[in-house]
Structure 1
Amino acid sequence: MAPLRGRNFRFYFASRFANTLGSSMASVALAFAVLEVTDDDPAALGLVLAAHTVPMVVLLLWGGVLADRLPRTLVLQVSNLTSAASQGAIAFLVITGAAELWMLIALSAVHGVVSAAGMPAMAGILPSLVPREELQRANALMSLVRSGLVIVGPTVSALLVVGVGAGWGLAIDAVTWLVSAVLLGFVDLPAREPRETGASTWSELREGWTYVRSTQWLWVVVLAFGVLNAIHAGPWSTLGPLHAKDTIGEEGWGLVLSAEAVGLLAMTLVMLRVPLQRPLLWGTLGVSLLGVPIFVFGAHPSLLLLVVVAFVAGAGTEVFSMGWNLAMQENVPDEMLSRVYSYDMLGSFVAMPVGQIAVGPLAIAFGSGNVLMVSGAMYVLTCLLVLLSPAVRRLPRVSTTSAPEPAAP
């Protein structure tokens, strides 16, 4: 818990706790709000979700430039305040019964635009909040919050939807964005060195791209995760629930997903105390375990076996998450960290719709079990190919402890 002794990290931790709580509830509340407004039209829900995702993906690189140019706390505050306004407007429209589909689409698009600016800023701020030697514990604490609330938040939101209506769940989300913005106002970071004046957005994007393509461990992992996330979003997340209906049932599928989340949470607790050396070597080996439940689900959908391998896969996924954040935060220069994270996010998100769209026709043509088996094998193979890169296998932890001193308690 050492990072929490620093004033800056304490307030940032509280800020992230607030908006993660709201966001973990919002997805359930928004889904039921859209279905309520459109008389249970699933296509309408897809339009609202796409209205958030598309502008976010399109503008991510611009958001990375913005977060590297301006104080990241300022970018986050503006993003959070705008998110509070857009989510609050949706909540008001749903509660009063005035909501129409086009309004929800427009407000979701606003939320997507500001998320494109906030996400790279959020990813790049942590190294400025704690000393270098506390980075792993700080990342683990943030992951602990995320993992715990992702387990609890949807259940609380579902109870709110049943008890008082979906609009009130969205209203709570809006309040948490506002609270998060206020708490960020207490984070006092030293001014960064002034950037070169007159540089265009395109030149700064080219600078970030040049760094990515000239850093082997970076582009190898980002390229691989284009494939890995397409597999996870398609065969596992999209085809998985459908395959579960014919095998382990909806309740069984819920248990498998819960086991994965618990494994992630358990490994987070381990990472609070056990130093992670060779972050990308162990991280890539860890995330390769996610291919095992995908393969097992297709080959032999035994509920007990799936729960066990999903728990192990969740633990391995957390090892990668920790290793990747440490590799980025310790090796990428602070002045371009948000831009590099934005390229990473773009590479992660852009192929996910491909997996989601392609998996249906493939399952019809070859059978869902066969698609899952091949996908699980491809997942593991892709991770092993990543490890052919010496830069990935050999990347060490940075031993220096130089870092901004946290503000006094």
Structure 2
Amino acid sequence: MAWTLTQERRLPVIITARTISVFGSGVARVALSFGILALPGVTPVQLSIVLASQVAAQVTFVLIGGVIADRRSRGALLAVTDLLNFAAYATMAAMFLAGHVSIPALAILAGLSGLATALFSPAMTAVVPDLVEAERLQRANALLRIGANGAMVAGLACSGMMVARLGTGWALAVNAASFLVSAALTLSLGSIEKAHTRDAPGWRDLRDGWREFSSRQWLWIIVLQYSLVVAASNATIVVLGPLTAQRDLGGATTWSMIVGAQAVGTIAGAGIATRIRPARPVLIGALATLPIAFPMLLLGIRAPLWTIAGAMFVSGASSDVFLALWTTTLQRRVPPAALSRVSSYDWFGSLALASCGVFAAGPLASAFGSNIALIGCGAFSVLATSGAMLSPQVRTLGSESLKEDFL
């Protein structure tokens, strides 16, 4: 019998909660960057500091988040993270609406949002296997991503209009409200995970999680490769892209269209992920990150707008294929009691250089110009993916080998 959402009664609630919160995040993604750039006397370096604070908090606390998620109620933890994000963005909205915006205060609030994401990500990865059977995981992950990606498209499509007509404050208020609704939906489910209780101290949990993570060469190589790609991508999306759009492409509305094309691509990629079953998921996942470099290079050479948008679409589709395959592989092969901790090391590795990329983007743009910085980011991303191909395990490890390795 074909699987439908109604067979897993709790999954639609999680999909709905995630979809609503991601819609708000899509609105805030453009609103915060252009709201900061619109402040009198703000420099690219200050923009980098505020937005990098969020990523830095994610890196700092994500390992702790993995330990907590393997010890406590993951469903309750998801709701707590939504409430933390609500507090952060509601305060930002109030600052912009009142006309009293402080860069240091924005950096602190962005850090609070980063803390919430650090706690959320490992818990979310581990919740899905508690909702569906192993053979349904890839489809469940893809459906979650279709909902979230569709919401991101809608949020990005609305963001430029909201900033232009209502202002940054109201756009951020929409994001805050989305997290409040998401928290209420998640709390309505009660306990949604199997119990994994241990008496070991937290440092031992971290050590055991590291052993699970580091014992698989293909795993840490791909995490290292992806961390370099994420650094270049974050520098582009968060800082260099908005700077280039403001100077050459017409500002917030045009940039929201460009990142909206990427979001539409992620919907297509998630749809593809519901159907494919590659014999070598690690290799396909690594290769799928290569198109992420294309928009950086096209922005750097001042290509026509339609080519940049097209490259962003392809980038979004390929990255979502990677994420669906990668998440499913972890969920199927890592023991459930350790899944959040292993996921936290995955997130830590992937995000470790992201804050460096965002911090460096502003100074690099000031020193060399945003176009040269964008070309450098694209080349860096291509080199990272090419380096991962040097690993025999990445090139040859197949589905059956993965099964034997984990089980």
Contact 1:81/1:177, CA 8 A, preserved across alignment: yes
Match of 1:133 among 132, 135, 143: 135
Output the amino acid matched with 1:16. R
Question: Which position in structure 1 is the counterpart of 2:225?
Answer: 224
Residue identity (%): 34
SS of residue paired to 1:55: helix
Map 1:329-340; keep pairs closer than 5 Å: 329-340=331-342
1:341-396, CA deviations, whole angstroms, 9 ceiling, x for partnerless residues? 22222222221243345567777888877765665455334323323334333241
- Structure 1 residue 394 corresponds to structure 2 residue 392: no
Q: 2:111 aligns with which of 75, 97, 109?
A: 109
Instruction: State how far apart, in whole Å, the 2-side matches of 1:202 and 1:71 are.
Output: 19
SS of the residue aligned with 2:382?
Answer: helix
TM-score (ref. length: structure 2): 0.82
Give, as a single letter, the amino acid of the residue that structure 1 aligns with 2:170: W
Q: 1:316 aligns with which of 315, 318, 321?
A: 318
1:357 and 1:86, CA in 2 relative to 1: closer, same or farther beyond 3 A?
Answer: closer
Distance 2:110 2:237 in 1: 26
| Alignment partner, residue 174 of structure 2 | 172
Residue 263 of structure 1 corresponds to 265
What does residue range 52-201 of structure 1 map to in structure 2 within 5 Å?
52-96=54-98, 100-187=102-189, 189=191, 192-197=194-199, 199-201=200-202
- Which residue of the partner structure matches residue 12 of structure 1? 14
Q: 1:55 to 1:132 in 2, by over 3 A?
A: same
| Separation in structure 2 between the aligned mates of residue 53 and residue 234 of structure 1, nearest angstrom | 11
How far did residue 224 of structure 1 move? 1.2
Q: 1:207 to 1:299 in 2, by over 3 A?
A: same
User: In structure 1, what is the equivalent of residue 207 of structure 2?
Assistant: 206
TM-score normalised over the length of structure 1: 0.82
Q: 1-side partners of 2:145 and 2:283: how far apart? A: 20
- Asked whether the equivalents of residues 84 and 178 of structure 1 are also in contact (C-alpha less than 8 Å), the reply is yes
Deviations 1:231-260 (A, max 9, x none): 333467655566678988879876654443
Which runs of no fewer than 5 residues in structure 2 stay unpaired?
none
For residues 261-312 of structure 1, give each alpha carbon's deviation from its aligned partner in whole angstroms, at most 9, with x where no partner exists: 3333222222233444432221212222333454566579355555544433
Question: What value does the CA root-mean-square deviation take over the aligned residues?
Answer: 3.6
Q: Is the contact made by 1:3 and 1:130 (CA closer than 8 Å) also made in structure 2?
A: no
Deviation at 1:399, TM superposition (A): 7.6
| Greater mean alpha carbon deviation, residues 159-168 or residues 352-361 | 352-361
CA distance in 1, matches of 2:94, 2:377: 43
Name the CA shift for 1:369/1:153 in 2 (closer, same or farther; >3 Å). closer
Output the amino acid matched with 1:83: N
Q: Aligned-pair distance for 1:157?
A: 3.2
1:281 match: 283
> Equivalent residue of 1:130, what SS?
coil
Give the superposition deviation at 1:16. 0.6
Instruction: Output one character per residue of 1:172-208: Cα deviation in whole Å (capped at 9) or x when no partner.
Output: 22222121111112335565344321x2221111111
Specify the alignment match of 2:29 in structure 1.
27
Return the alpha-carbon distance in structure 2 between the equivalents of residues 365 and 275 of structure 1: 46
Aligned pair count?
A: 398
Partners of 2:328 and 2:190 in 1: CA distance:
23
Contact 2:270 2:320 in 1 (8 A): yes
Call closer, same or farther: CA 1:57–1:374 in 2, change over 3 Å: closer
Contact kept, 8 Å, 1:226 with 1:351, in 2: the verdict is yes
Taking the aligned partners of 1:116 and 1:94, their CA distance within structure 2 comes to 26
Q: Structure 1: which amino acid aligns with 2:19?
A: F
Change in 2 beyond 3 A, CA 1:129/1:304: same
Q: Radius of gyration: which is bigger?
A: 1
Q: Which amino acid aligns with 2:399?
A: P
Work out which of the residue numbers 324, 349, 352 in structure 2 matches 1:350.
352
Q: CA deviation at 1:24?
A: 1.5
Unaligned runs of 5+ in 1: 401-409
